[in-house]
């Protein structure tokens, strides 16, 4: 019956859908205390194309990426759009595939004729995506693809919208270790990371710094990305008796490592993950509760309490739209939101969405984002600095650098309960 009504009464259905969508939009505006904006008459929306990993290996980060972009789209449209024009983001799913991501950007640019493109998740997918954007002269702002392989393309169109290039992410941890009094400073370190263009680069920079200051490497292994059993690496690390452990991970692997360390009763003085522990409840659930997180460290370019431009607004919008607590807001969503902020400010600086002008603006101005202010150099790297966070009694605290820390670091890390 419903099917027939919809089929026969197509116009009625569209009318009802339209009324419903309008009502939902009005509710969204009222929720954020804004009145529906008016856009310049006769102007088409600014179309932005994004390939997001909504399925496949990167989907746990691809979905927050989409959320961050959508939040920015909603926010900007509820505040008059950009240059008086509404913003419309077109998402295509790449299934975490390097070939599909290239096809998607090709389609977005040539078939959908989008005005602008924003980046996908991960360095692995950013490389083929950036090659397509370069071919067509599009500006390319990457929220989460700043590994060495991306910078090696030397694209003049590219900026990486995070405070530091990926390879410098663990520098905050290395600096903190070196800031310890010599009598307390660890002398041995273990490194283990999944393969890929992302995590190994992070660990390599930290290892170079620590080794050059006399901290001996006693374990250093790379394992395939599809690894699901981390016990062999944990046994090797434990056998090495390393005093500090640096691990190249995302959230699920980080939780798996913690469980294996707990099972082995292995208590190094410090454990830092390149990624995972910042994911709040998801990470805590994965390791069996906050008591197991005490002392675990993770570097970050953004955190929910950061006193940066529009961050409070972004966090409240995220929680209101997607639920959870401020600590659950994924970093990837903040990074995607930042991409939108940078584009908006670039367009307003040059009063245009012409890609050539946007590219010039990206390398000229300083931009305010939820991750802090950023100014990009010729290679597209920002001039910011990451910080070091640590789980302390169920709360993620900033512990380094001292200028912004919210708590003193727990060192050595408390033993597992």
Residue 193 contacts residue 200 (beta carbons within 8 Å): yes
Cβ nearer to other proteins, comparing 55 with 98? 55
User: What distance in Å separates the CA atoms of residue 205 and residue 207, rounded to the nearest whole number?
Assistant: 5
DSSP string for residues in 263-316: HHT---SEEEESSSGGGTHHHHHHHTSGGGTTT-EEEES--TT---TTHHHHHH
Closest approach of Cβ 156 to other proteins, in Å? 34
Neighbours of 38 (CB within 10 A): 9
Cβ nearer to other proteins, comparing 168 with 335? 335
Closest approach of Cβ 96 to other proteins, in Å? 8
Cβ nearer to other proteins, comparing 60 with 406? 60
Closest approach of Cβ 63 to other proteins, in Å? 6
Residue 276, both tokens: 């995972």
Residues in the chain: 417
User: What distance in Å separates the CA atoms of residue 161 and residue 339, rounded to the nearest whole number?
Assistant: 6
- Half-sphere exposure at residue 117, Cβ-oriented, CA atoms within 13 angstroms: 33
Cβ nearer to other proteins, comparing 259 with 405? 259
Closest approach of Cβ 14 to other proteins, in Å? 25
Closest approach of Cβ 202 to other proteins, in Å? 17
User: What distance in Å separates the CA atoms of residue 285 and residue 279, rounded to the nearest whole number?
Assistant: 10
Cβ nearer to other proteins, comparing 50 with 358? 50
Closest approach of Cβ 287 to other proteins, in Å? 9
Cβ nearer to other proteins, comparing 62 with 340? 62
Ramachandran angles phi, psi of 251, nearest 5°:
-60, -50
User: What distance in Å separates the CA atoms of residue 58 and residue 377, rounded to the nearest whole number?
Assistant: 29
Cβ nearer to other proteins, comparing 106 with 282? 282
Binding site for other proteins (CB under 8 A): 54-57, 59-60, 62-63, 192, 195, 221-224, 226-229, 231-233, 235-236, 239, 251-253, 255-256, 259-260, 262-265, 282, 285-286, 288, 292, 416
Residue whose structure tokens are 């390398």: 363
Any bridge partners for residue 376, and if so which? 382
DSSP string for residues in 122-172: SHHHHHHHHHHHHHTT--EEESB--SHHHHTT--TTEEE-SSS-GGGTTHH
Cβ nearer to other proteins, comparing 332 with 345? 332
Closest approach of Cβ 239 to other proteins, in Å? 6
Closest approach of Cβ 290 to other proteins, in Å? 13
Residue 293 contacts residue 265 (beta carbons within 8 Å): no
User: What distance in Å separates the CA atoms of residue 396 and residue 214, rounded to the nearest whole number?
Assistant: 30
């Amino acid at each position: 019956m419903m099917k027939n009504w919809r089929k026969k009464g197509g116009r009625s259905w569209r009318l009802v859908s339209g009324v419903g969508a309008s009502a939902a939009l009005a509710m969204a505006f009222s929720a954020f205390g804004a009145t529906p904006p008016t856009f310049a008459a006769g102007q088409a929306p600014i179309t932005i194309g994004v390939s997001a990993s909504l399925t496949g290996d990167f989907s746990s980060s691809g979905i927050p990426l989409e959320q961050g972009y959508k939040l920015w789209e909603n926010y900007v449209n509820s505040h008059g759009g950009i240059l008086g024009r509404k913003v419309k983001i077109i998402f295509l799913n790449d299934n975490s595939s390097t070939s599909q991501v290239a096809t998607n950007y090709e389609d977005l640019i040539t078939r959908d004729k989008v005005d602008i493109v924003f980046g996908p998740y991960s360095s692995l997918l950013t490389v083929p995506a950036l090659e397509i954007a370069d071919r067509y002269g599009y500006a390319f702002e990457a929220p989460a693809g700043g590994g060495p392989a991306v910078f090696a393309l030397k694209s003049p169109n590219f900026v990486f919208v995070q405070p530091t290039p990926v390879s410098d992410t663990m520098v905050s941890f290395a600096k903190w270790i070196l800031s310890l009094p010599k009598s307390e400073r660890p002398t041995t370190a273990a490194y283990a990371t999944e393969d890929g263009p992302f995590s190994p680069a992070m660990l390599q920079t930290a290892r170079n710094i620590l080794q050059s200051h006399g901290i001996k490497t006693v374990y250093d292994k790379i394992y395939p990305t599809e690894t699901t059993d981390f016990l062999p690496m944990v046994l090797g690390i434990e056998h090495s008796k390393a005093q500090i452990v640096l691990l190249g991970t995302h959230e699920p692997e980080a939780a798996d490592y913690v469980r294996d360390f707990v099972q082995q009763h292995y208590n190094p003085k410090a454990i830092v993950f390149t990624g995972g522990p910042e994911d709040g409840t998801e990470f805590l659930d994965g390791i069996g509760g906050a008591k197991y997180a005490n002392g675990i460290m993770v570097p970050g370019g953004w955190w929910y309490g950061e006193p940066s431009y529009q961050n409070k607004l972004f966090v409240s919008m995220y929680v209101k739209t997607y639920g959870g607590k401020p600590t659950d807001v994924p970093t990837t969503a903040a990074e995607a939101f930042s991409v939108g902020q940078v584009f908006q400010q670039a367009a307003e600086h040059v009063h245009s969405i012409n890609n050539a002008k946007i590219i010039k603006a990206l390398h000229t101005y300083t931009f305010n984002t939820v991750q802090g202010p950023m100014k990009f150099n010729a290679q597209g790297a920002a001039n910011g600095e990451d910080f070091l966070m640590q789980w302390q009694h169920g709360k993620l605290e900033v512990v380094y650098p001292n200028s912004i820390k919210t708590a003193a670091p727990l060192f050595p890390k408390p033993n597992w309960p």
